[in-house]
Amino acid sequence: MIVRHLLEPEAIVSRRLSDAIKFRGRTMAFSWPSKAGLFDYAYDRDSAVFSRDDFEHLLSSIVSAPGASHVHIIAHSMGTMLALESLRQLYARYGDTVTGRIGAVVFAAPDIDMDVFSSAISRIGPLAGKITVITSTNDRALALSGRIAGGMTRVGAAEKAAIERLGVRVIDASDAGWGIVNHDLFLWNAEVLKVIRRSIDTAAA
């Protein structure tokens, strides 16, 4: 399951990532309306917050379905905030019984404030141990997001050690991206794609 902005057709994003990591399970994408403009950040963030109940209900219906196996979640940028909030709500509802149904949780370039991230991580119990965060200190989109947020560093652009202290796995992809923006590494960088595939394989083992 991929959680991200509706910046391009979700079916295309889902297919691109599934093909890139050679994932043969069922794949779906959850997206929300985005104005996709430089000065529409507040609108997009509000839309994401508005969508969290819908995503939590979707997750709830999947993990509670008879015969359901692991649900792997790959969230990108602002989608990581939506995914984390929904996981927090899901854990508050089901507790540890939901842990076995959630597989890998990969947060690529998470656009989340560090304090918000830390607070949510402390509320999701063993689900925190399933999270892999992919960071890049040269992610220019997150640098701009941090400035818009009053100079606060986003999780996806933070130093690896600061995030690891929260008990989640961190992959620093700063040396993997040499593009102009370095924000969509999870879709095209071979090393980052290997990280995603390993996370899924480990969770499903």
* In the predicted structure, residue 131 carries a pLDDT above the cut 90: yes
In-domain check, residue 37: no
Residue 12 maps to a domain: no
Terminal CA-to-CA distance of the chain, rounded, Å? Answer: 18
Tens-place pLDDT, residues 171-205: 999 887 656 677 888 888 898 999 999 999 998 76
- Residues 153-173 have a mean pLDDT of 92
The answer as to whether 172 is a domain residue is yes
Q: Is the distance from CB of 20 to CB of 193 less than 8 angstroms?
A: yes
| 28 found inside a domain | no
Q: Note whether residue 118 is domain-resident.
A: yes
Confidence at residue 152, expressed as pLDDT on a 0 to 100 scale? 86
For residue 9, is pLDDT > 60? no
pLDDT at 39: 64
Residue 147's domain comprises 49-204
Residue 179 has a pLDDT of: 61
Give the model confidence (pLDDT) of 10-37 as tens digits: 556 777 888 899 998 888 888 877 766 6
pLDDT for the residue 124: 95
Neighbours of 106 (CB within 10 A): 28
Residue 52 CA to residue 76 CA, distance in Å, equals 15
Average pLDDT score, the chain = 85
The long-range contacts involving 45-49, CB below 8 angstroms and separated by at least 24 positions, are 45/78, 45/81, 48/78, 48/79, 48/81, 48/82, 49/81, 49/82, 49/85
More confident residue, 132 or 38: 132
Please check whether residue 159 lies inside any domain of the structure: yes
Residue 163 pLDDT greater than 70, yes or no: yes
Answer yes or no: is 94 within a domain.
yes
Model pTM score: 0.89
Q: Give me the CATH number covering residue 115.
A: 3.40.50
Domain count of the fold of the chain: 1
In a domain, 5, yes or no: no
- Tell me: the pLDDT tens digits for 65-90? 877 778 999 999 888 999 999 999 99
Q: Give the pLDDT of residue 204.
A: 73
